Structures are given as C-alpha cells and as structure tokens.
Amino acid sequence: MTIKEVCEKYDITADTLRYYERVGVIPEVTRTAGGIRNFTEEDINWVVNAICMRSAGVPIEMIIEYVRLFQIGDETIEARCNLLKEAKAEVEAVVKKYEDELDRLSYKIAKYEEAMVTGVLSWED
C-alpha cells in the first residue's frame, strides 16, 4: 500500500506518517527496490497502533519506547506490559477528569431545566 493510500484510509497526513517513522513511533516501513514506501500489513498494523495510542493521548515518547522494546524481543514482554499499564492509567485519569466535568455540566443543566419550570434558579457552586 502506498503512503497516499494509507493516508486516505486512516485520515492521516503523509508528513505525520514520515514523522512517526523518523522518530520511531512506527518501525521503519518496508520499501520497494526504488526506495518508495510500500506499507505491508505489518507496517499498517503499526500505523493503526500509533493512531490508536495517540488518539488516546499516549505521549509520543511512550510509544517510541514501546516500539523499541518490541523490536528487542520477547525478553521485554514484562516491560512492554508495564508500559501499557502506565499508558492505560494516564488515559483513565483523563477519562475520570472528563467524567467529573460532564457530571458538573449535567448538574448545572438540570438546575437550569428545573428553573425553566419553576422560575427559580438555585444551586450551590
């Protein structure tokens, strides 16, 4: 699959893909004899992994370390698992923050809806 096809399929820019490869967010992409990127299924799996992790807010540095450990081999399984647990905890903290903010907004909306019926707006902030 060409870089253009990958970009279109996963809604990502070619610059982002090149950057991901350059810094190690994805391993080096397979190339044709002429040096043109030819994304294999394995390469695409790495792209999907990178997109997923970045969408979840996982820092670039953490993804780079995960890829580095993966490339070392099975002796890094525990380290990779721990890294993913750390990333998960960070994502859960962000989700918790947004849940708290949603609860606060829901509370305020309910108070305004009640005020529209009763004509009285009252709450404690």
Instruction: List domains and CATH numbers for the chain.
Output: 3-88 (1.10.1660.10)
Spatial neighbors of 76 by CB under 8 A, at least 6 apart, are 69, 70
CA 64 to chain centroid? 13
C-alpha distance from residue 87 to each of 40, 50, 72, 95 (Å): 27, 13, 20, 12
Task: Find the radius of gyration of the CA atoms of the chain.
Answer: 22
Confidence grade of residue 124 (pLDDT, cut at 50, 70, 90): low
Kindly report the pTM of this predicted structure: 0.79
Q: What is the mean pLDDT of the chain?
A: 94
> Of 122, 53, 117, 115, whose CA–CA distance to 90 is shortest?
53
2-42 confidence digits (pLDDT tens)? 999 999 999 999 999 999 999 999 999 999 999 999 999 99
Q: Give pLDDT, residue 125.
A: 58
84-102 confidence digits (pLDDT tens)? 999 999 899 999 999 999 9
